[in-house]
Structure 1
């Protein structure tokens, strides 16, 4: 009888363990459920953590009230039966803003440069998804690229075990609109030698950069302009 009770308890523990979500995953069952929001169009690229617009698809960016996270930087937004994956690399003042082109596509099914439209809040849902689902929004399909001169506060806050800690790249480009600096990769020295990025040229040079422009799609005309 005693052995029968013991077997029952072991079985119960095994079942309980099977239904408890793993705490090691950054995507809990809650984050996978669509959260209802009203998304609004945003037509000028920016990044509060220093992500370079010339190294990503700036037509697929989320400007969320919450601060960008070291792991949860990809969100899937759905409206009108259509979905887009967006990089969450900037923090808004409270609105759920998304790139104008993404908003226009969710609204009409067409790109903003083809059939631009105007409007306000669009009822939608969003969920955090793995960064692999945003890989096609990265120019090299793997790394999230940062301005080496002014992104170290965010990068140093991300441990080596996080997605950013394993997949960031540093460039000697001074601003997120990629109008100043030099388009060259930098690297961090050995910790014993400090934490300032090392580049082939002096870090943070204010020289004009013209060969990798960031293009904004203007609301509500659908015309384009170079970010400045």
Structure 2
């Protein structure tokens, strides 16, 4: 199953409209049997920046991403992958094409791409420590400062996201607009808008941290836009 990449305006709207199911500090662990399908265009309804994670290991599932259960383990054919659950699908259990291809064949999508539909699999929520290698800095989940605050503020300080998020002055999840710079939350007396070195949310072309998609079913790399 293929989905087109959202524009930065559409991504921002999706973030604002995202339903946040829980900010509890005591996450409910889930698991079960599912059918996973390939997704070849990176997006994130909660504003997670593709240039700061391994986009070949992402999950796009019917349930909304929440403040604790970000890391999920999916297994099929005797193989397993850990995925970051950063987007909400229209109903399918989509996963990154490369992850789907690996579960199907044991090979990466760029090495030996294949085609197919739903793959019988099982999943379980696992501790975020098991997905640390999917974060570029190994510690923080990076968000677009200009359009992720609805989700960030829904996560209490006791949740994993509340303790481990980072804000960047990058406008869209494909990292093509803005500045690759860390921002910070102000003191309450200064308001509630993130403070960055440059003006927040500018549509300045960003070319230093591209996000790559792997096309289904050819396995060809392209820059996400």
TM-score range, shorter chain: 0.7 to 0.9
- Equivalent residue number for residue 17 of structure 1: none
Q: Which residues of structure 1 form unaligned runs of 5+?
A: 1-22
Mapping of residues 143-158 of structure 1, within 5 Å: 143-158=140-155
- Equivalent residue number for residue 111 of structure 1: 108
- Equivalent residue number for residue 40 of structure 1: 37
Instruction: Say which SS state the counterpart of residue 217 (structure 2) adopts.
Output: coil
State whether residues 27 and 129 of structure 1, in contact with CA within 8 Å, keep that contact through their aligned partners in structure 2: no
CA distance in 2, matches of 1:213, 1:127: 31
1:114-151 per-residue CA deviation (whole Å, 9 max, x = no partner) reads: 00000000000001001000000000000000000000
Match of 1:169 among 144, 166, 171: 166
The structure carrying a bigger helix percent of its residues is 1
Q: Which residues of structure 2 form unaligned runs of 5+?
A: 1-23
CA distance in 1, matches of 2:188, 2:70: 27
State whether residues 215 and 224 of structure 1, in contact with CA within 8 Å, keep that contact through their aligned partners in structure 2: yes
* Deviation at residue 191 of structure 1 after TM alignment: 1.6
- Equivalent residue number for residue 60 of structure 1: 57
- Equivalent residue number for residue 26 of structure 1: 27
Instruction: Say which SS state the counterpart of residue 156 (structure 1) adopts.
Output: helix
State whether residues 61 and 93 of structure 2, in contact with CA within 8 Å, keep that contact through their aligned partners in structure 1: yes
State whether residues 168 and 182 of structure 2, in contact with CA within 8 Å, keep that contact through their aligned partners in structure 1: yes
Instruction: Say which SS state the counterpart of residue 102 (structure 1) adopts.
Output: helix
CA distance in 1, matches of 2:25, 2:45: 27
- Equivalent residue number for residue 101 of structure 1: 98
**TM-score between the two structures when normalised by the length of structure 2:** 0.88
State whether residues 73 and 125 of structure 2, in contact with CA within 8 Å, keep that contact through their aligned partners in structure 1: yes
CA distance in 2, matches of 1:25, 1:80: 32
* Deviation at residue 202 of structure 1 after TM alignment: 0.4
* Deviation at residue 192 of structure 1 after TM alignment: 2.2
State whether residues 25 and 68 of structure 2, in contact with CA within 8 Å, keep that contact through their aligned partners in structure 1: no
Instruction: Say which SS state the counterpart of residue 122 (structure 2) adopts.
Output: strand
CA distance in 1, matches of 2:91, 2:40: 16
1:61-103 per-residue CA deviation (whole Å, 9 max, x = no partner) reads: 0001000010000000000000000000000000000000000
- Equivalent residue number for residue 205 of structure 2: 208
Which structure would you say has the larger RCO, counting Cα contacts within 8 Å and 6 or more residues apart? 2
CA distance in 1, matches of 2:106, 2:186: 47
State whether residues 47 and 176 of structure 1, in contact with CA within 8 Å, keep that contact through their aligned partners in structure 2: yes
- Equivalent residue number for residue 12 of structure 2: none
Q: Which has the larger radius of gyration?
A: 1
